[in-house]
């Protein structure tokens, strides 16, 4: 596959570089789920930190292939990633630049492609991968205010804003909680089509609106109902429910629904 060919070529290109300690690969490579639509997640471990200078990240990106363009990943909270599009073949590659100390802190255990002095293997053996799970209290403290926000937009007629906001709720709350319920990693709405049970996926689809007031309100109510169900399934008694806020917001929901 083109991902394997790119990774193997990158390994050979990086071998002579004294600043490179090793190269590893993560993502769908680890679960043998690479297909024609997969990107490639490479981790370059360097002796000296290079992520403070975009030009140095770009230098490495250009070395590895026919780079069309690329940019750093601040928008996903990871400025150490240089997101690249290569040509011949056309391939999306995420290059993550870390030092050896930073390599210890990871969300999954990558496959090592290049390990000049065994330092990557040692780092993996002396640390544990920890995938970030959502904080239930953090969600509960925000959810009903988010519902109220969506209602304000619908009430004012800002339907596109409310439409887009429904995607935020799925990505931030509903998708991750459904993944946890189904014992899969809470990666937003990634692969919900295949990783959720049919009934859960069908409930999630009911939160997708059309562009009109009635559909927006119906899908938002479905989102609130689904959240309540997930809250019952997943939360323990340590999570302090924002019950008063919930009641007030749902009363306001009724007002908006009946307002002509």
DSSP sequence for 41-56: EEEEEESS--TT-HHH
Whether residues 113 and 28 fall in one domain: yes
140 in helix, strand or coil?
Answer: helix
Query: pLDDT value at position 164?
Result: 97
Whether residues 75 and 190 fall in one domain: no
Query: pLDDT value at position 59?
Result: 96
The C-alpha angle 248, 251, 254, rounded to 5 degrees, equals 155
Whether residues 185 and 92 fall in one domain: no
- Does some domain include residue 131? no
**What CATH number corresponds to the domain at position 169?**
1.20.120.330
What average pLDDT does range 101-108 have in this prediction?
93
**Structural domain boundaries, residue 194:** 136-258
Q: Residue 109 — very low, low, confident or very high, per pLDDT cuts 50/70/90? A: very high
Whether residues 110 and 149 fall in one domain: no
Q: Residue 76 — very low, low, confident or very high, per pLDDT cuts 50/70/90? A: confident
Spatial distance between the Cα atoms of 74 and 8, rounded to a whole number of angstroms: 28
Q: Residue 194 — very low, low, confident or very high, per pLDDT cuts 50/70/90? A: very high
Domains in the chain: how many in total? 2
pTM: 0.89
Q: Residues 46, 98: contact at Cβ < 8 Å?
A: yes
Length of the chain (residues) = 260
């Amino acid at each position: 596959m083109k991902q394997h060919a790119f990774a193997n070529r990158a390994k050979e290109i990086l071998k002579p570089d004294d600043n490179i300690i090793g190269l590893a690969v993560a993502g769908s490579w680890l679960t043998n789920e690479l297909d024609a639509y997969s990107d490639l997640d490479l981790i370059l471990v360097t002796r000296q930190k290079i992520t403070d200078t975009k030009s140095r990240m770009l230098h490495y990106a250009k070395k590895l292939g026919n780079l069309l363009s690329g940019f750093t990943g601040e928008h996903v909270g990871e400025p150490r990633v240089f997101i690249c599009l290569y040509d011949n073949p056309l391939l999306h590659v995420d290059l993550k630049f870390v030092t050896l100390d930073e390599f210890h802190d990871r969300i999954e255990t990558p496959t090592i492609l290049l390990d000049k002095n065994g330092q990557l293997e040692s780092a993996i053996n002396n640390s544990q991968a920890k995938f970030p799970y959502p904080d239930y209290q953090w969600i509960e403290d925000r959810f009903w205010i988010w519902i109220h926000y969506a209602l304000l937009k619908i009430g004012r007629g800002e339907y596109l804003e409310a439409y887009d906001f429904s995607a935020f709720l799925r990505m931030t709350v509903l998708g991750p909680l459904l993944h946890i319920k189904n014992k899969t990693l809470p990666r937003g709405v990634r692969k919900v089509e295949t990783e959720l049970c049919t009934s859960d996926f069908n409930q999630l689809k009911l939160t997708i609106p059309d562009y009109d007031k009635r559909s927006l309100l119906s899908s938002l109510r479905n989102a609130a109902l689904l959240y309540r169900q997930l809250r019952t399934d997943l939360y323990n008694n340590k999570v302090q429910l924002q019950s008063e806020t919930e009641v007030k917001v749902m009363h306001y929901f009724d007002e908006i629904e009946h307002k002509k």
